Amino acid sequence: MVGTRRHSNVAGISFFCPWGHMTSLVRADDSPLPRPNPDAVLAEVSEGAVLYLPDTEHYFGLTPVAALVWEMLPPTTRTLGDVCRGLAERYPDVPLETLRADVSELLAELERMNLATAATV
């Protein structure tokens, strides 16, 4: 992917961010999850997955853990806490606070890239 940089973090929820703009807003456990953009196409690759948005022709790379978070978006789960508890079962060595921060960052980036739509309360 030309023009991208890799962002990594402790929980392994890293992803490729083409524009290098990250946020660090940590969401509350009961925060509703954003909904995936129905136009986004997910393709699994050997190192995770790639999301493609046809109308903008943007690609967004996901590691296997970030792809799992994508698959846990609604209607599969409803809140950030649901996702973090699911990840904590799979990755018990990662502190819940780290999972929450990393997933929050990924969700913010998916929203910024129009790959997901912010939840309405």
For the stretch 62-86, pLDDT in tens is 999 999 999 999 999 999 999 999 9
26: which 2 tokens? 């940590």
Cis previous bond, 75, omega within 30: yes
Domains: count for the chain? 1
pLDDT for 11 equals 47
| 30 — pLDDT class (breaks 50, 70, 90) | confident
Q: CA-CA distance, 24 to 43, in Å (whole number)? A: 27
With respect to residue 120, please indicate whether it lies within any of the assigned structural domains.
Answer: no
Q: Look at residue 105 and tell me whether its pLDDT is greater than 60.
A: yes
Q: Cβ–Cβ contacts within 10 Å for residue 7, how many?
A: 15
| 54 — pLDDT class (breaks 50, 70, 90) | very high
With respect to residue 54, please indicate whether it lies within any of the assigned structural domains.
Answer: yes
Q: CA-CA distance, 121 to 109, in Å (whole number)? A: 20
Query: What is the pTM for the complete model shown?
Result: 0.77
With respect to residue 84, please indicate whether it lies within any of the assigned structural domains.
Answer: yes
Q: Look at residue 92 and tell me whether its pLDDT is greater than 50.
A: yes
Do 1 and 18 form a contact (C-beta atoms < 8 A)?
yes
Between 14 and 59, whose confidence is greater?
Answer: 59
Task: For residue 38, give its domain range.
Answer: 5-23+33-115
72: which 2 tokens? 């846990």
For residue 27, give the DSSP letter: P
99: which 2 tokens? 């999972």
Helix, strand, or coil here: 102?
helix
With respect to residue 72, please indicate whether it lies within any of the assigned structural domains.
Answer: yes
* Average confidence (pLDDT) over 20-44: 78
With respect to residue 28, please indicate whether it lies within any of the assigned structural domains.
Answer: no
